[in-house]
Every structure is written in C-alpha cells, then in structure tokens.
Amino acid sequence: MRRALMFCMTGALLLATAGRAQTAAPASVPAVVDPVFQAFALDAHLPGAVWGVVQDGELVHVGSFGVQDIVSRRPVSGETLFRIASMTKAFTALTVLKLRDEGRLQLEAAAEQYVPQLRGWHYPTADSPRIRVRDLLNHSAGFVTDDPWGDRQTPLPEAQFTQLLQEGVPFTRTPEMAYEYSNLGFAILGRIISNVSGHPYADTIGRVLLQPLGMTSSGFVAESAPAERRALGYRWEDNEWRLEPTLGPGAFGAMGGLQTSASDYAKWIAFLLSAWPPRDAQDSRIVKRATVRELAQGSNFPTFRQRPGRALPNACQQAATYGMGMRVALDCELGLTLNHAGGYPGYGSFVLLLPERGWALFAFANRTYAPMATPVWDAALALQKAALLPPSRPVPLSAALEQAYATTVRIYGAGDVLVARDELAMNFLLDHSAAHWSAELAALKGQVGECTTDMAPRATGALTGEFVWRCAHGRLRGALELAPTQPPRIQQLQLEAIVP
C-alpha cells in the first residue's frame, strides 16, 4: 500500500456535512477530536470520512463527514464500509503467529518450506540467507518497495501469482540487511497461510479472526456487500472526481484487501488492546495475549523520524521500527505507540494504538491515498493536551520491591547499611564498603535532613523502582534494583539529594 502522500488541495468541497453517532464517551472527547477531523476533511477535500475512538474495549466515539458516494449522496456513518488497505497486514501477521502457536509453521523456517515455488530463486549474493517467514513479517526479505505496483495487484489470480513466484523476482538487496516495505512479501505470507491452513487465505482470516470477533460486515469481496453501505473510492483528477475501479479479491489480498466499517474495526482494535497489560486472568480463546503483543516486536532496523501530523519543526522525534503488521514508535508524549497507514486507489486510512493507556484512534476516507495519519496523530495529541488520555498503566508493586523499599527506609534512618546486611545481594558491599555508605548517608542527611518516607515507590518492574522523598531541607531521589535471586536482594541503591 502506498504510504500517505501529501497532495495539493484543489476544487470546491463536494459536501460539508458532519455527522456524529451516539457515543458512550464524555462530551469532551467529541468536542476535542471532531474539530480536528472535520477541519482536515475540508482541507484535504475528502468526499467522506469516518473516525473512531476506542477506550478500554469500547468504541466510545465515532464521528463522520461527507458522503459514501457522490451520486446517491448517502452520508457516511459508523456502518459505512471502507477498504482499509495495508491495515489488513496486521490481520495477516496475527494469523501467521496463531499458526505458529498451533505448531503448524515456524517463524525462523525458510519461507520456501511452505511455498515450494520459492526454492529455485536466484539470490543476489552467494552468501545470501534464505528468506525466513520472520523476514516477510518484518519487511526485511530484500524486496523493493512496491506500493504503486502492489496496489494494483490485489485481484491477481492465484494461478498467475504462482507463475510469478516460479519465475522468481529480482531483489533490491540481500535479505536481512535492511527494512524495506514490501506488499509482495505480505502476499507471500498470504500464500503461506493458505498452504499451511489448507484453506484459502480469506476463508482462514474469517474463521480465525473475523467471525470470532463478530466482524460480520467485514470481508475481502467488496462488491458482495450491500451497495447502500459501501463507500465508493474516488480520486481528484483534472479538477473533477473520478471513480476508482473496485479491486476484487485475489492473491494480494493479504497485503491490503479487507473491507470493514468503523463499528466492525473497533472490535478488532479492542481485541488488540486487551492484550495489555500482561496479567493472570484467563487468556483469549481467539489468539493468546502474549501472541498479540508480538505484533509490537520490532525488527533490527530502527529509524529516527519526526512525529507525523501537523507538527511544528521542533515537534517530538520518535524512535520507530516495523513490528509485525504494525509500525512501532516510542513517542516523547504518548509513549509506546502501534500504528499503520492504509493507502489504496480510492481510499486512505490510519490507526494509532496507545496500548499502555488502553486507547486507540483510527480513521477511514474514500479518496485515493488520503493521508489520514495527520488528523489521527493530531487528535491523539489534542486528547493528551486536554488531559483526557490517562497516563500509562502503572506497573504493580511487587512484594519483593515493597520489602526492599522498607529496607531502604530503615537504612536511611539508621545511617548504616549493615542494619540490613541479610537483605543485601552479595555484590552490594563489594561495590561500596559499609564505611563508604555510612559517610554517604551522613552527607545526604547533612544536605536534606530527615525525610518523609511513608509514600510508596513507583515500580518500573517487579525488581526495580524509584522514589522521591520530601525532606526537611529539600528532596531525596532514589532508585532500587534487586538481584535475580531467590529471595531477591538489593543489588544497587542510588540516592541523590535535590537541593533548592
């Protein structure tokens, strides 16, 4: 799928209607996000668009703009069906992982083990590794970026795809050397799913994911859906709207063929978000929570990029990589994010998950390559600035860390680490002697005095945590690390005075 492209905004607005479905969200959520999307829809000259906000497993708000098609002028709603293009890739990736869980394939195995047509390929160098299933998931198989070509391959017949694979394809580089986005790679994953499952790709996705999630309106044959619910795809060309041809089902459906509605897609997003945080509760019968979280496991080829959206030049820089059907980025304001765009003839879409907060936003439009990443990121930041997004879920305080914190309080009060000698790891007094610690503790007390220590530490893991104490003459910042022993003992204690 072609990544979001910026284009010139020309022509008069077709229809400037804005709709809003009934929601469970507080009035403040629509009030914050709807103006962002409505303004973008006007500026980007979109025939129609829909956007949704998912919170803790529920579609709490859906907003809409414009029309499904320019002839009937039916307004877009949460039930309108859009092609979501490359946002299909996450469905493909998770199905591959489920087949792995069932013992039916291995990610480290050569892809040719499951697709025999790959066995005779000519690789770029004599020392090239054979393409693994994992390389296809991470876009590191050595294929060239193929968005313009790949977009039009969706209806390619399976027999022609088989012939293409038998003839071999040229590489742009040696496999496992770099990330490069490849729709061909995900089409091969679709063939792997078909061969391993023994059923056509679309049928397998339906059985494994769509049906269990209740996504009854979603599918890979766009024209089989009721015409009155479909958003037709358009491109703006020569100062007029041109209807894009409907791309039917075929061998490249695994890279971008899914059609869905906002209400259906929200079920998928709620399911993904339910994998966070890790917990002891009964696991999902659809796909294990730990398996869902693998979508966020990035490749070995991270990038540094400016956050998408209408950001200022000094906006947040992100560390980003490609996981499995999802891009993974660490944002300076939003934290861990999973996201993916979908660009297609007639359509543009984008999804942004904040898994550690339990929230997500997504948007679909029926204009060719509409760059919906822009309003989705902007709306997420607007929610953040309005203090509507919760902070990342806290790490639970373990009994071991709670005990170590109490030991730290005792050490500071006594001014002597030896009062807790049995609770120190074997390295502790080797790294710094007891006499050194006594001197350090005395110096700290001289700076900040006695401290209030009745607040709980903030856990950063089951065996690590940090805290700040209010003291008579300032504050004291501390950090704890426990050793991987049974029982866990303190391997490192850091204390630093914060003096006005």
Query: Alpha-carbon distance 464 to 124, whole Å?
Result: 47
Q: Are 37 and 89 in the same domain?
A: yes
Residue type at 403 in one-letter notation: Q
Asked whether 463 and 401 are in contact (CB, 8 A), the reply is yes
How many domains does the chain fold into? 2
State whether 342 and 485 are in the same domain: no
Strand, helix or coil at 152? coil
pTM of the predicted model, to two decimals? 0.90
Of 344, 368, 393, which one is at a domain's C-terminal end?
A: 393
Tokens, residue 196: 């391993």
Domain boundary among 335, 363, 393: 393
What is the structure's pLDDT at 413? 96
In this structure, the answer to whether residues 214 and 173 fall within a common structural domain is: yes
CATH number of the domain enclosing 197: 3.40.710.10
- Looking at the fold, whether 333 and 376 belong to one and the same domain comes out as yes
b or e along 126-140 (b: 16 or more beta carbons within 10 Å of the residue's beta carbon)? eebebbbbbbbbbbb
- Who contacts 421 (Cβ-Cβ below 8 Å, separation ≥6)? 429
| Stretches in the chain below the pLDDT threshold 50 | 1-24
Residue with tokens 């061998």: 251
- Distance of alpha carbon 111 from alpha carbon 119, whole angstroms: 9
What is the CA angle 223-227-232, rounded to 5?
75
Could you tell me if 110 and 259 lie in one domain? yes
Looking at the fold, whether 136 and 14 belong to one and the same domain comes out as yes
Do residues 459 and 336 both lie within one domain?
no
Q: How confident is the model at residue 7, as a pLDDT?
A: 31
Name which of 34, 98, 57, 149 is nearest 359 in CA terms: 57
Dihedral sign for Cα atoms in the order 38, 40, 42, 46: negative
pLDDT at residue 298, as a whole number: 85
Element (H, E) at 493: strand 490-498
**pLDDT at site 311:** 64
- Same domain as 43, residue 183: yes
Computed on alpha carbons and rounded to an integer, the radius of gyration of the chain in Å comes to: 27
User: Do 349 and 308 have their domain in common?
Assistant: yes
Predicted confidence at residue 4, as pLDDT, reads 36
- Residue indicated by tokens 């879409």: 349
Q: Are residues 371 and 472 in the same domain?
A: no
Chain CA centroid to CA 170, Å: 30
Q: What is the pLDDT of residue 305?
A: 86
Residue ending a domain, choose from 361, 377, 393: 393
Domain that holds residue 46: 1-393
Cα–Cα distance measured from residue 4 to residue 22, given in angstroms and rounded to the nearest whole number: 30
- C-alpha–C-alpha distance, residues 50 and 218, integer Å: 16
pLDDT of residue 20: 33
Among the listed residues 457, 399, 372, the one whose alpha carbon sits nearest the alpha carbon of residue 43: 372
123 plus 254 within the same structural domain:
yes
Statement to judge: residues 420 and 358 lie in one domain: no
pLDDT of 3: 38
